[in-house]
Structure 1
């Protein structure tokens, strides 16, 4: 190897060592600490859905309810009326769900009906009944007293107490609409299942025969009569929504406080085995014996 080649190799070696030394002496940039990823908070559920109505046609399946005129049974009349009520409510911009859309083979308990309504978080729940006694439309609100504002959990049989003031406003709005439709109205207070288990404003609506003074008696099975009642109820609910659940503004509202939680009743303990062995503006009329008492 010539001296020239040796000189070139030495020079190359010096350059490589210098470059290596420069790299080792250059401080590495400080690593940016990785911030732990915060889980996305779930969006708060609204207190209610202002356009959603739950309709509960009473009875069904093995529970036929009361025997009405023309050999009709209550479970069929409430279902038919619910089917007339749905398009009337939809015409007012409501979405309608129902606890039953047919006659089930199994019994639907009142706790199950309340569970369906509470899960949907509707603006209003309507419990439908029919009777052959009395006259006009009976609007029944829960007999519970309003709950204290500080209540965060409610007993299952007192869940409605959180919304009693709104339920009374609802009864009044529907009563006014029925009165304007020239239908007689009775406003009542009673704890008829499942109304006490509902966490939304709720009323029980029981249709009785229409018996105007000096006129012929119209049975609850009359289609035209049912249609008049359905349209008046839809108008009443639209008025209730306007006054108590106005349309949202362009400014996003603050998240509503969560509704009180209805606590279902604890299952009964198994026994130990023994090894040895009217009108809203007038005073409400007295409740007549009716199907709502069942």
Structure 2
């Protein structure tokens, strides 16, 4: 009797192992197919003007992780990678900063005053360029404890296009990162409120979470984050767009507002 029970248990374990293996195989195939779909839709970002805004910089470090990692450094690294993949897709990418700087006047007075001026100028420059999308990259932090985790995309309440863009990006963050179940959320922020184009804030993870802080410092993970945001943009523009009839100017990829206004650069 005991031998029969043991045989049944082993058989059940084998069935479970096979089912798990099949599940992950199917998931992997589905994910690869979806990535191919994104590749075929990449025409949708061609010649689109997309502003990538690495959060904070210069006088404003943003949040700080337990090991001393600064938000402004992570957001810049991910934004550069995002700009690269967008540029390779034919988008015209405008970065609000490409180094550890901010857009406020050096003699602008108090820190809070300079922060407001910095934000105001980032949004104003995006509006002046009539961008098709404004992507603000930030890092989240939860002071009460290290358990909170997961990337999340925010949009301005009442903005249908902002919501659609946020949902597209969040869907890809969930699909590709596989470590967040968060949903796109409506929150009133200065940048999304004052931007004239569809705009979102992508909080790519919690710097207050040691594990996620370490992940966000990893270049491969940064590339995965950048691709997820790119993939969301591709799907967003593909929903209503038709393939561009004009040629894509691959030279127009990345531009720095602060020092190189009016100049075009190849993808970094």
Name the residue aligned to 1:222: 218
1:125 aligned onto 2:134 = yes
Higher RCO, Cα 8 Å, sep 6+: 2
Residue 86 (1) aligns with residue 83 (2): yes
Q: How does 1:176-195 map to 2 (within 5 A)?
A: 176-181=171-176, 182-184=178-180, 185-195=182-192
**Cross-structure match for 2:122:** 113
How far did 1:50 drift? 5.4
The question of whether the paired residues in 1 share the 8 Å contact of 2:54 and 2:138 is answered with: yes
Unaligned runs of 5+ residues in structure 2 are 1-45, 107-113, 143-147, 247-268
Aligned-partner Cα distance in 1 for 2:66–2:141? 7
Shift of 1:186: 3.2
Q: Does the 8 Å CA contact 2:64/2:207 hold for their aligned counterparts?
A: no
Aligned match of 2:155: 141
Find the counterpart in structure 1 of residue 166 from structure 2. 171
Task: State the match for 2:96 in structure 1.
Answer: 99
Q: Deviations over 1:83-129 (max 9, x none)?
A: 12111222332221111111226455211111110011111100111
Q: Which structure has greater helix proportion? A: 2
Work out whether residues 156 and 192 of structure 2, in 8 Å CA contact, stay in contact via their aligned partners in 1: yes
Distance 1:249 1:59 in 2: 37
Partner of 2:193: 196
- TM-score under structure 2 length normalisation: 0.61
Unaligned runs of 5+ in 1: 1-48, 146-163, 251-294
**Does the residue aligned with 2:50 lie in a helix, a strand or coil?**
strand
Q: Which residue of 1 aligns with 2:235?
A: 239
* 1:278 matched residue in structure 2: none
Q: Would you say the 8 A contact 1:50–1:241 is kept in 2?
A: no
Q: What secondary structure is seen at the aligned counterpart in 2 of 1:186?
A: coil
Alignment counterpart, residue 59 of structure 2, candidates 58, 62, 68: 62
Greater Rg, structure 1 or structure 2? 1
Contact 1:123 / 1:201 at 8 angstroms: preserved in 2?
A: yes
Of stretches 230-239 and 216-225 in structure 1, the one that deviates more from structure 2 is 216-225
SS at match of 1:84: helix
| Cα distance in structure 2, aligned partners of 1:75 and 1:223 | 15
Q: For 1:88 and 1:210, how far apart are their aligned partners in 2?
A: 24
How far the C-alpha of 1:183 sits from its partner, in A, is: 4.1
Aligned partner of residue 211 in structure 2, secondary structure: coil
- Secondary structure, in 3 states, of the residue corresponding to 1:127? strand
Three-state SS of the structure 2 residue aligned to 1:109 is helix
- Once the two structures are superposed, residues 44-80 of structure 1 have per-residue CA deviations (whole angstroms, 9 ceiling, x without a partner) of xxxxx95111011111121111112421111122111
> 198-207 vs 63-72, which deviates more?
63-72
RMSD: 2.6
Aligned residues: 180
